[in-house]
Structure 1
Amino acid sequence: MKVLLTFYGAEQTGLDSSPEEIAQTFTTWGEFGEAAGAAGVLIACEGLEGAHATTTIRVDGQGRHVTDGPFMETKEQLGGFALLEVRDLDEALEWSARTPWNGEGQTTEIHPVMDYEQYAARAESAERAAS
């Protein structure tokens, strides 16, 4: 199963980080990427630019509305993601615990990626049951 780990926390600009802190951040994320890659579960893992670079599109009955900034007012921002191929939720939880994103005030969400074949099979099964 594919899962998307999304990492939330206070927005960091990096401007208040020392070169040593930045190097340590790259090292710990690099170690996670190497371990997940060696285990064959890593598909992608990336950090995201901050809210200043975010564009949001909202659609309503009056059309599309494009605004700068994140989609919600919050102190937590989406900071990055990892896309993994794992056996099950338990393995996803194990890999989540191995990321450097486990500090105070940091949140990780695990989103299963939709399996379209299973989705279609459930729809066909429901259609047969309704007939």
Structure 2
Amino acid sequence: MLYAILAYHVEAEVMSWTPEEDAAVMTGLLKVHDRLNANKLLGPAARLGGTAEARTLRGPGDGMVIDGPFAETKEQLLGLYVVDCADDGAAIGIARDLRRVNPSAVYEIRPIRLYLPGEALPETAQGGQG
């Protein structure tokens, strides 16, 4: 089953890291990535750009484009991983590995379903609930 691991952090803290501090965190994360890749568990992963560059589309009709993230929170979504795990316990274990090398981050683990436009989700193709 696929799980999204969403990485939240206080953006100002991350932006204040020296290049050496950032490289140290990334070195630790890359070790986790290498292990996940070796076990064929890691899908797409991304480090998102700053929230100052983000835009949100919301509202009725064509919507309105506004600056920044859609919610004001202490922590911002700064990255994400897609992992293929047998169950949520395995996904939580991966999030714990990531947190060991980036202990001030918060990780949200959420099951996801792959959506391919024009193709039925497996649950609906078999007549189940989707």
Identical amino acids, percent of aligned pairs = 27
Change (3 A) 1:77 1:14: closer
Work out the CA distance in 2 between the residues paired with 1:108 and 1:6. Answer: 6
Greater than 6 Å deviation, 4+ residue runs: none
Query: Relative to structure 1, is the Cα distance of residues 13 and 54 closer, same or farther in structure 2, using a 3 angstrom cutoff?
Result: farther
Q: CA deviation at 1:75?
A: 1.8
**Alpha-carbon shift at residue 63 of structure 1 (Å):** 3.8
Q: Structure 2 stretches of 5 or more lacking a match? A: 115-120
Partner Cα separation in structure 2 for residue 123 and residue 19 of structure 1: 48
What are the within-5 Å matches in structure 2 for residues 19-58 of structure 1?
19-58=19-58
Partner of residue 80, structure 1: 79
Q: TM-score, normalised by structure 2?
A: 0.82
2:84 pairs with 1:99? no
CA distance in 2, matches of 1:114, 1:59: 26
Between the aligned partners of 1:40 and 1:67, the Cα distance in structure 2 is: 38
Q: What code does the residue aligned with 2:34 have?
A: E
Aligned residues: 122
Please tell me whether Structure 1 or Structure 2 has the larger radius of gyration of its CA atoms: 1
Tell me the equivalent position of 1:122.
Answer: 128
CA offset at residue 97 of structure 1?
Answer: 0.6
Q: Mind listing any 5+ residue stretches in structure 1 that lack a counterpart? A: 125-131
Aligned residue for 1:122, secondary structure, equals coil
The structure-2 alpha-carbon separation of the partners of 1:113 and 1:37, relative to structure 1 and needing over 3 Å to count, comes to same
Deviation (angstroms), 1:118:
1.8
